[in-house]
A and B are shown apart, each in its own frame.
Chain A
Amino acid sequence: MKKLTKKKKHDIWMGYLFTSPWILGFLFFIVFPLVTSLYLSFTRYDILSAPRWIGLQNWVRMFTQDPRFWNATKATFKYVIFEVPLRLLFAFIVALIFSQRESKILNLYRAIYYIPSLIGGSVAIAVVWRQIWGYPDGIVNAILSILGLRGINWLGDTRTAIWTLILLAVWQFGSPMLIFLAALKQVPTELYEAATIDGANFWGRLFKITIPMVTPVILFNLINQMIHAFMAFTQSYIITQGGPLDSTLFYAVYMYRKAFNDFEMGYASALAWFMLALVGIFTVIIFKTSNRWVYYEAEEGV
């Protein structure tokens, strides 16, 4: 290799110097905690006394002796499987409506529709949600009783509780909606014009042009929202507190409780790493299948 000139060397050092805020932050706040938690997952650690190495015990316990771990995994899967597609569908439909026309008033609506995403994850909304689905005198049950129907204990029934949380999450469709909207506007109008001349109706244009053209963005939103959904916490923690019978015990909530209520930091670290692996596997699966359904314009080509 050629020897670097003095000037080059200097440039390299300057480069490191200027990126050092990021590098240091990355090392201290990401790499260090990551490595520590991996180490802790092989220990018993109650915060107050020093961690004690116990090998694979946490992992064995997780898979063989902890029924609540499976409850939490099941509840989280159910949530992810229903929440993510519903939210994306909803976001897409609303974005589609907005993309049809351009006007000042639509900008206002767009802002209004984004508000739930800003406040929806907050504790205040969670508390309001409790009131809405309350039993026997929540708003929903009040409406049911006006209609002469019997009230349902939405939050207390294992069949309905998780759906109230899914609904709350679907309502916060703002950010995927904005991303969809941007993508929809990128679709070249010539394509639509050509299709219209050929006699394609709205549905034909939607399924043959719009959706294929935005599949890259669908992929992006899908992965983003899936990771988010796996990490959902506030809704379960505040609204249902994991109940009834662990039917809404989200994985993140169970992990938090193990760490900060039972003070089993080692076990909680193992739980965290399992979650990371799960999310990783699902992301890889989605990516692997993506070349079958995601259409990149540049690939076909000239």
Chain B
Amino acid sequence: MKKYFKLVVLMLILVSFILAISPAQQQITLRIIWWGSQDRHNRTLKVIDLFQKKYPNIKIVSEYTGWSEYYTKLTTMAAGGNLPDIMQQDHAYIRGWVEKGLLLPLDDLVAQGVINLKDVSKSIVDSGRLGGKLYAINLGNNSQAFAIDPELFRKAGVPLPPTLWTWDDFKRIARIIHRKLGIYGAAENLGDHNVFRVWTIENGGYLFSEDGKSLGYEDDNVYASFYKMLLELQDEGVIPSRDVEVARGSVSPEQRFLCLGKAAMQFTWSNQLTAMSTALKGKPLKLYMLPTLNGKVGNFLKPSMFFAINAKTKYPKEAAMFINFFINDIEAAKILMAERGVPVSKRVQLALKPLLTPVEKEMFNFIATVEKYGAPTPPPDPERWQEIYNNVYTPLYDQIMYKKITPEEAAKKFREQVTQILRK
């Protein structure tokens, strides 16, 4: 009997060993990286916790930074061969990453149902498609906007403009506010390339051509007229002068002039409304599409950011499971809300509707407005866009506003230098 007992104990121990190392219990570690504000970090980390609770065998290691150094970090990681399994990616960069074979095509994982895109409209899914293959999953929709402070409008005695307002309306309102309240009519960075992109669409073109090999507008007056408008407003003191903006450097949404009560209108991305409204202690702000030109709307929906998977990941399925959880799980969505833009899944949108704060409701309605009136999303940027932005777009913008060069001269130089870079 004693002998048998020993044997049984031994067997039990053996069995428990086998169970312990069986694949079902195997620990998997995934790495993920994103950029964003502290608010985004907090929300994302909470969702990761939730995911780990649901799948205890998957551990997720997070890395996160601000936007400005994000791609420096990611590119260095790529060079060192230690890219995280899941990466947040931006629309402007994705072409280069796909061309270098760094991202995993996701079509198979979608076909197998690991990533469920049934509730996502085709145009949104396709924003992550390049050369016919799906490389990235859109996490939210965004659009260019003017955030306005209705209280300041009331104080200045200006009625709120209609949805489809014009640039003339904009200038008129900005001037009245400046005159009556002594603050800026509209705040900093009106010459942001995103405003200029909208302007090119309103003029019947794009910033870049379809094939990404040249500028997407013919007439240099498109460029010149845009900056003439800015110069005019700057000289009248209706918008901050460029040297004030340059001296302040890049500011976070919370430090913008609108949030400091020094301006009544502010160019922004729609998903930043939450941050701006928080900075104003929940003051209700309203979102407007950028003004129209000759009846044409230039606003468009832009994928705010993507998740993509490292082409060399050891665990494509688990990485895809996380992305699926991120875009489809209702509990996760309740944590994330619209911080990365309006969620892409229709089902998630419906589930969130009753929970929205007034600010988030404004954002949802705004995206619906853009969906209704907006222009189609322009083709993705050429791979060298960043170089153009740093070395051509911004320096010329500064030179015009500092009056070292006229808008007409700058328009010509812009075309010359951009073409030169794109031909390389």
A residues bordering B, Cβ < 8 Å? Answer: 47-49, 68, 130, 134-136, 153-158, 240-241, 243-246, 257, 260-264
Contacts A48-B79, A134-B247, A262-B386 given; does A244 touch B72 at CB 8 Å = no
Contacts A245-B402, A262-B386 given; does A47 touch B79 at CB 8 Å = yes
- Residues of A contacting B390 with CB < 8 Å? 257, 261-262
Instruction: Tell me if B244 counts as interface (CB < 8 A to partner A).
Output: yes
> Cα distance A195–B139 when bound, in Å?
81
Q: Is the CB of B244 within 8 A of A48?
A: no
Instruction: Tell me if B121 counts as interface (CB < 8 A to partner A).
Output: no
Q: Is the CB of A246 within 8 A of B395?
A: yes
Contacts A153-B243, A153-B244 given; does A48 touch B249 at CB 8 Å = no
Instruction: Tell me if B399 counts as interface (CB < 8 A to partner A).
Output: yes
Q: Is the CB of B246 within 8 A of A156?
A: yes
Instruction: Tell me if B195 counts as interface (CB < 8 A to partner A).
Output: no
B391 contact from A68, A135, A244, A260, Cβ within 8 A: A68
> Cα distance A232–B386 when bound, in Å?
25
Instruction: Find the A residue at minimum CB distance from B387.
Output: A262
18 contacts between A and B (CB under 8 A): A47-B75, A47-B78, A48-B78, A48-B96, A48-B100, A48-B102, A49-B100, A68-B391, A135-B247, A155-B246, A156-B245, A156-B246, A156-B247, A158-B402, A244-B398, A261-B386, A261-B390, A262-B387
Q: Is the CB of A135 within 8 A of B244?
A: yes
Q: Output the least CB separation between A195 and chain B (Å).
A: 52
B243 contact from A130, A156, A260, Cβ within 8 A: A156
> Cα distance A213–B398 when bound, in Å?
50
Instruction: Find the A residue at minimum CB distance from B391.
Output: A68
Q: Output the least CB separation between A141 and chain B (Å).
A: 11
Q: Output the least CB separation between B410 and chain A (Å).
A: 13
Q: Is the CB of B244 within 8 A of A47?
A: no
Q: Which of B388-406 contact A (CB under 8 A)?
A: 390-391, 395, 398-399, 402, 404
Instruction: Tell me if B377 counts as interface (CB < 8 A to partner A).
Output: no
- Residues of B contacting A257 with CB < 8 Å? 390
> Cα distance A208–B212 when bound, in Å?
70
B72 contact from A155, A246, A260, Cβ within 8 A: A260
Chain B binding surface, main DSSP class: helix
Q: Chain B: interface residue count, which band?
A: 20 to 34
Chain A binding surface, main DSSP class: loop
B residues bordering A, Cβ < 8 Å? Answer: 71-72, 75-76, 78-79, 96, 100, 102, 242-250, 386-387, 390-391, 395, 398-399, 402, 404
- Residues of B contacting A158 with CB < 8 Å? 402
Q: Is the CB of A157 within 8 A of B243?
A: yes
Q: Is the CB of A245 within 8 A of B399?
A: yes
B249 contact from A47, A130, A246, A260, Cβ within 8 A: A130
> Cα distance A245–B402 when bound, in Å?
8
Q: Is the CB of B246 within 8 A of A244?
A: yes
Q: Is the CB of B395 within 8 A of A245?
A: yes
A48-B102, A155-B247, A263-B386 are known contacts; what are 5 more A-B pairs with Cβ within 8 Å?
A47-B76, A68-B395, A134-B248, A135-B247, A243-B398
> Cα distance A68–B421 when bound, in Å?
14
Q: Is the CB of B247 within 8 A of A153?
A: yes
Q: Is the CB of B398 within 8 A of A154?
A: no
> Cα distance A68–B248 when bound, in Å?
22
- Residues of A contacting B246 with CB < 8 Å? 155-156, 243-244
> Cα distance A33–B353 when bound, in Å?
56
> Cα distance A156–B100 when bound, in Å?
40
- Residues of B contacting A263 with CB < 8 Å? 75, 386
Q: Is the CB of B404 within 8 A of A154?
A: no
Q: Output the least CB separation between A86 and chain B (Å).
A: 23
- Residues of A contacting B78 with CB < 8 Å? 47-48
Q: Output the least CB separation between B70 and chain A (Å).
A: 11
B404 contact from A135, A241, A243, A245, Cβ within 8 A: A245
Instruction: Find the B residue at minimum CB distance from A48.
Output: B100
Instruction: Find the A residue at minimum CB distance from B97.
Output: A48
> Cα distance A245–B395 when bound, in Å?
7
Q: Output the least CB separation between A127 and chain B (Å).
A: 10
- Residues of A contacting B75 with CB < 8 Å? 47-48, 260, 263
Q: Output the least CB separation between A296 and chain B (Å).
A: 48
> Cα distance A156–B79 when bound, in Å?
37
- Residues of B contacting A48 with CB < 8 Å? 75, 78-79, 96, 100, 102
Q: Output the least CB separation between B259 and chain A (Å).
A: 15
> Cα distance A130–B404 when bound, in Å?
25
> Cα distance A47–B100 when bound, in Å?
11
Q: Output the least CB separation between B270 and chain A (Å).
A: 26
- Residues of B contacting A245 with CB < 8 Å? 395, 398-399, 402, 404
